[in-house]
Amino acid sequence: AQEQVMIRLYQDLLPSMVHIRVSQRLQGREDSPSFPGFHDWPQDDFQQDFFQQGEGSGFVWDQEGHVVTNNHVVEGAERVTVIFADGVEIQAKVIGADPDSDLAVLKLEGRNDGANPVALGDSDTLRVGQMAVAIGNPFGQQFTMTTGIVSALGRTISSTNSSFSIPEVVQTDAPMNPGNSGGPLLDLHGRVIGVNTQIISRSGFSSGIGFSVPI
């Protein structure tokens, strides 16, 4: 029965999930910032500018084509491409961001017909031990689902690019890796209960301690 629940959850949520690719033009390597999951593009011998490319996850918020992700996924991006599970790629614009809570909102440019918004859960009613599901794009492996439980509630973590601390964070052991950032944490009804944002790991890969900004 649980297996069937997971299958249906994935199939129902897949149209609402997105893979986000971003590129940023940077000046000079020595002063370049470091971004999780970013890789250098080859630099032209006749150009001093170069690009870095990165990726993350997100989900459709409403039928108007708004997409929610992490601020650190899209901060400073010159070009943002949103990729759906059916292979459709749409350019998007960052229309709002809050570095303190590490959240950002994108707006799909051009086609946004048929957008399937997610259902929202209530993070105030969560209980430690209930199952949690993450869908994202770890290491560029598009639309990967992992499962675990809500490991703890009420955690406080430091924001990635701000001195602000994010309160009431949800801790989960659902495996998350680079590329999962900005994707949803879901309950077994497929409702979003958090936005996956950070992990604790000495290796940089999943060690079973991940954090989600409560919805």
Cα 30 from Cα 90, distance rounded (Å): 33
CA distances from 115 to 60, 65, 67, 168 (A): 7, 6, 10, 30
Contacts of 87 (CB under 8 A, 6+ apart): none
Q: Are 164 and 83 in contact (CB under 8 A)?
A: no
The H helix count followed by the E strand count for the chain is: 2, 14
Which residue shows structure tokens 């999780």? 36
Going through the chain in order, the beta strands assigned E by DSSP cover 17-27, 39-40, 49-60, 66-69, 79-84, 89-98, 103-108, 119-120, 131-136, 144-158, 165-172, 184-186, 191-199, 210-214
Catalytic residue set: 72, 102, 181
